[in-house]
Amino acid sequence: MSSDTCGGGSPAQGSNEKGSSTSSVDKQREKARVSRTSLILWHAHQNDAAAVRKLLEEDRSLVQARDYDNRTPLHVASLHGWIDVAKCLIDYGADVNAQDRWKNTPLADAEGAKKHNMIELLKSHGGLSYGQNGSHFESKPVPPPLPNKCDWEIDPSELDFSNSNIIGKGSFGEILKASWRGTPVAVKRILPSLSDDRLVIQDFRHEVKLLVKLRHPNIVQFLGAVTDRKPLMLITEYLRGGDLHQHLKEKGALHPSTAINFALDIARGMAYLHTEPNVIIHRDLKPRNVLLVNSSADHLKVGDFGLSKLIKVQNSHDVYKMTGETGSYRYMAPEVFKHQKYDKKVDVFSFAMILYQMLEGDPPLSNYEPYEAAKYVADGHRPIFRSKSYLPELRDLTSQCWAADMGQRPSFLDILKRLEKIKENVPSDHTWNIFST
């Protein structure tokens, strides 16, 4: 017995030999049947009535053979108008009203192809015409879109929470992993107790309107929302890698090349948001709002735009009086903490704090409570670089990004250029040595 019929069994498994042999024979029969199915369809296509008849003499069941579109040999012959092949198939009992995947009968195909002799032959044997190409097919008018219904509005019944779990919480709601049309998604769900709060609804609708406009590989993809029923829900792609906060908590200081790649991904997303004339200021850029696409941590996306602001820029140097103390204290720019006028450079400051954390392993000013850390920074202080072998170029970039004067901070487009240059010069074996006093 050949090795491929033994199934890799040892001599001790001899009792199963007969079953394995039978299984092998069944497989060979199935393979031969599939081969004959292809043959009869091919000969029907080639108008070879003699070959079709020979195959049917050997196996009458082949008259009902089907291809991957559920089309029979009679469908094939009818479409081409091969009368002799069709007569042979009908003699062997072909179903003249068999339907393919589009619900077309052989007569519908013949009518569609204007094969008049074939039409007469099929009708004489009881052939009916229906399907997409048939005369009995009536196209249904496409209903107009529902009034005021956005393309992204999702019916809550399409969301499956049967195996959901909470992956994040906030003051207004929770974020759950769920399933939408069979795809894992992240669902931000507003707490029922806040569903009637005017400001909460306003903020929710603002975030939806903002996300609809965003299209970038480094921005979490918006999929849809539930806005006309309660609870209100916002649906985005689900990223399996979790957030950067948890990743850094587990990994500590990152390898230089990894830190630079992460920084590049964040900067790309932020450069897109900051593009004029429609500038989006994130205002809450922090590790929890930066997500890893997968467990390999090879790609990052910026997310959570609940506090973002879309600004129509009239002048590239415009600054704005906005809500003070917006965002998370530990990563907050001093001008925000002090309720001063500010612009998009507040995000550059937050980026510097994230870059520091990736390089050092600990959150900036980790020995301070978040509010005290923000106050300390607002008083002019900055985190201390502790690494022995910190790359000077990265230290300089970080320092410029958290400059007290927001006008001195580089744009994200400039940050990208500098990071690319630094990346070219990073030795593959360069690592940081963290020490604490």
**Average confidence (pLDDT) over 170-182:** 85
The encoded tokens of residue 202 equal: 């306003």
Q: What is the DSSP letter of 165?
A: E
Instruction: Tell me if the bond preceding 143 is cis, omega within 30° of 0.
Output: no
Predicted confidence (pLDDT) at residue 111 exceeds the cutoff of 90: no
Catalytic residue ranges? 284
Rounded to 5 degrees, what are φ and ψ at 276? -80, 160
pTM: 0.62
> Selecting from 1.10.30.50, 1.10.510.10, 3.40.50.920, 3.40.50.620, what CATH number does the domain 244-425 have?
1.10.510.10
Local confidence band at 190 (pLDDT 50, 70, 90 cut-offs): confident
In whole angstroms, give the CA distance from residue 278 to residue 218. Answer: 18
Local confidence band at 227 (pLDDT 50, 70, 90 cut-offs): confident
The pLDDT value given to residue 426: 78
The pLDDT value given to residue 78: 93
The pLDDT value given to residue 414: 97
**Average confidence (pLDDT) over 129-150:** 57
Rounded to 5 degrees, what are φ and ψ at 225? -155, 160
Predicted confidence (pLDDT) at residue 2 exceeds the cutoff of 60: no
Q: Is 338 annotated as a binding residue?
A: no
Asked if residue 88 lies in contact with residue 77, where contact means CB atoms within 8 angstroms, the answer is: no
Per CATH, domain 156-237 is 3.30.200.20: yes
In whole angstroms, give the CA distance from residue 346 to residue 336. Answer: 8
Percent of the chain residues past pLDDT 70, beyond the cut: 79
The pLDDT value given to residue 191: 82
Asked if residue 358 lies in contact with residue 366, where contact means CB atoms within 8 angstroms, the answer is: no
In whole angstroms, give the CA distance from residue 316 to residue 327. Answer: 24
Helical residues (DSSP H) of 106-232, grouped into ranges? 106-112, 116-124, 198-212
The pLDDT tens digits of the residues spanning 232-290 come to 999 999 999 989 999 999 999 998 889 999 999 999 999 999 987 778 898 889 999 99
Token pair 């593009």 is at which residue?
275
The pLDDT value given to residue 193: 78
Predicted confidence (pLDDT) at residue 21 exceeds the cutoff of 80: no
Percent of the chain residues past pLDDT 90, beyond the cut: 52
**Average confidence (pLDDT) over 113-142:** 76
The pLDDT tens digits of the residues spanning 274-311 come to 987 778 898 889 999 999 998 887 899 998 876 555 54
Predicted confidence (pLDDT) at residue 363 exceeds the cutoff of 90: yes
Predicted confidence (pLDDT) at residue 26 exceeds the cutoff of 80: no
The encoded tokens of residue 209 equal: 């309107």
Q: What is the DSSP letter of 267?
A: H
Residue extents of the structural domains in the chain: 28-124, 156-237, 244-425
Local confidence band at 322 (pLDDT 50, 70, 90 cut-offs): very low
The pLDDT value given to residue 423: 92
* CA Rg value for the chain: 33
The rounded Cα 360 to chain-centroid distance in angstroms is: 32
In whole angstroms, give the CA distance from residue 228 to residue 309. Answer: 23
The pLDDT value given to residue 255: 85
**Average confidence (pLDDT) over 343-370:** 94
- Lowest pLDDT segment from 143-152, 329-338, 379-388, 407-416: 143-152
Which CATH architecture describes the domain 28-124?
Alpha Horseshoe (1.25)
Predicted confidence (pLDDT) at residue 100 exceeds the cutoff of 50: yes
Question: What average pLDDT does the chain have?
Answer: 82
Predicted confidence (pLDDT) at residue 434 exceeds the cutoff of 70: no
Local confidence band at 170 (pLDDT 50, 70, 90 cut-offs): low
The pLDDT value given to residue 222: 93
Local confidence band at 204 (pLDDT 50, 70, 90 cut-offs): confident
In whole angstroms, give the CA distance from residue 310 to residue 428. Answer: 40
